[in-house]
Amino acid sequence: MNQDSHSDEKIIDVLSLKTVAVIGMSKHPSKAAHYVPKYLIDNGYDVTPINPTADKILDIRCYDSVTEIHDSVDIIDVFRPSDQISSIIHDCIKKKPKVIWLQEGIHDFESEELARKSGITVVFNRCMLAEHRRLRL
């Protein structure tokens, strides 16, 4: 699977945004959907978990859906399978983030195009933790 064609400079710009909602954030410390957002928190990001099966993760209130968050978010980071991305993207578009970030292995071209047409930058098949470390931010 390919990844987006964003330059390192563009990824640095994206990673300079600090408000992140994480769809599919996990309660389980061994899963990437837990330790990646924890890394982001540890590196100064304001993370909001989206997980309908939890009340709190890392002592932060969880929401059932990104549309339930009242505050604005800069990045919506998605840890859900590619076959669920279509409905997730529609919710994300309603929230109007600057960026939708689809973690490694996640890609849905048609849904991503919808987001781009709504003025949202889409990053796909990349890990925020890996990119943050690679770019030494």
15 located within any domain: yes
Phi, psi dihedral angles at 8 (to 5 degrees):
-60, -40
Q: Which domain holds residue 31?
A: 8-134
1 located within any domain: no
Helix (H, G, I), strand (E, B) or coil at 90: helix
One-letter amino acid identity for 129? L
The predicted pLDDT at position 2 comes to 86
User: In tens digits, what is the pLDDT along the chain, a chain of 137 residues?
Assistant: 688 999 999 999 999 999 999 999 999 999 999 999 999 999 999 999 999 999 999 999 999 999 999 999 999 999 999 999 999 999 999 999 999 999 999 999 999 999 999 999 999 999 999 999 999 98
> Which single residue is written with the structure tokens 């982001």?
40
CATH code for position 97: 3.40.50.720
| Predicted TM-score of the model (pTM) | 0.96
> Which single residue is written with the structure tokens 């925020």?
128
